[in-house]
Amino acid sequence: MNNRLKVLRAERNWSQAELAGRLDVSRQAVNAIETGKHDPSLPLAFRIARLFDMPIEEIFDDGHE
Amino acid sequence: MTDTNDTVQSGEARLKSRRYRFLRYCAIGYVLAVALGFITGFAQDLFAQGTLPAWMLFALWGLALAGFSWFTVGYFRRVDEVDMQDNLWACLVAFYFYAVAFPSWYLFEQLGLAPPANQIAIYMASGAVLVVTYLARKAGLR
């Protein structure tokens, strides 16, 4: 699944560690999500959406219209 | 939860604190495991000398099992979902290894093509497979 996490993080000038701390996950988890090696669970996706104050579908793209 | 803490601590500070708490938890579990290892070893000697009743050994075994369960539940509550997946994949691969290794060795033993199956060797090899799989996933091979 594609996502805009890296772009959104860069826009706020946050490191992976900064984002990980705000999401209460490890830095490896942020890296795995950014590189598409891990699709976050629904609760984590909601946490990400709330943190960036955006709808989930504007952050994650499953390739369907 | 996140919003409230954002005003108090930066994300990096929260991550550092989270990592410290996790390592402290693992260190406590390790120290308790070593202590229990010494105690059970001492108890084993006493049992061999006939000065310790068998029920005490069973009680110690129960204590060790309870401690291991307590640590495991706490560990999985503390790791995030990616680490949880890494752990589960490692356990699954190690279990598959064991499930294939022992019957295969047993089959060849029955055919007279191999020495008797060595449970300890298979157990140790399964543990090695678990560690290698976990580290491989940690290295990014997901």
**How far apart, in whole angstroms, are the C-alpha atoms of residue B92 and residue B121?**
19
B52, pLDDT greater than 80: yes
Q: What is the pLDDT of residues B60-106, one digit of tens each?
A: 889 889 999 999 999 999 999 999 999 999 999 999 999 999 999 99
Q: Assign domain A2-53 to its CATH architecture.
A: Orthogonal Bundle (1.10)
- Kindly state the average pLDDT of the residues B100-125: 97
What integer pLDDT is reported at residue B7 of this predicted model? Answer: 56
CB contact under 8 A, A21 and B13: yes
User: Over the range A5-31, which residues count as b (16 or more CB within 10 Å of their CB) and which as e?
Assistant: beebbeeeebebbbbbbbbbbbbbbbb
**In chain B, % of residues over pLDDT 70:** 94
State the CB neighbour count (10 A cutoff) for residue B98: 17
CB contact under 8 A, A22 and B81: no
Domain boundaries defined on chain A: 2-53
**How far apart, in whole angstroms, are the C-alpha atoms of residue B6 and residue A60?**
24
Q: Which candidate from A15, A23, A26 shows the least CB-CB separation from B12? A: A15
Q: Which candidate from A17, A50, A51 shows the least CB-CB separation from B15? A: A17
- B9 CB neighbours in chain A (<8 A) are 21
Q: Which two tokens stand for residue B98?
A: 């064991």
Q: What is the pLDDT of residues A14-49, one digit of tens each?
A: 999 999 999 999 999 999 999 999 999 999 999 999
A50, pLDDT greater than 70: yes
Cα distances from B91 to residues B44, B84, B104, B128, in angstroms, run 30, 11, 20, 11
User: What global pTM score does this model have?
Assistant: 0.81
State the CB neighbour count (10 A cutoff) for residue A33: 26
Q: Is the ipTM of this complex over 0.90?
A: no
What integer pLDDT is reported at residue B2 of this predicted model? Answer: 45
Helices B81-110 and A27-34 cross at an angle (nearest 10°) of: 90
Mutate to test the interface with A, among B3, B9, B80, B87 (most CBs of A within 10 A): B80
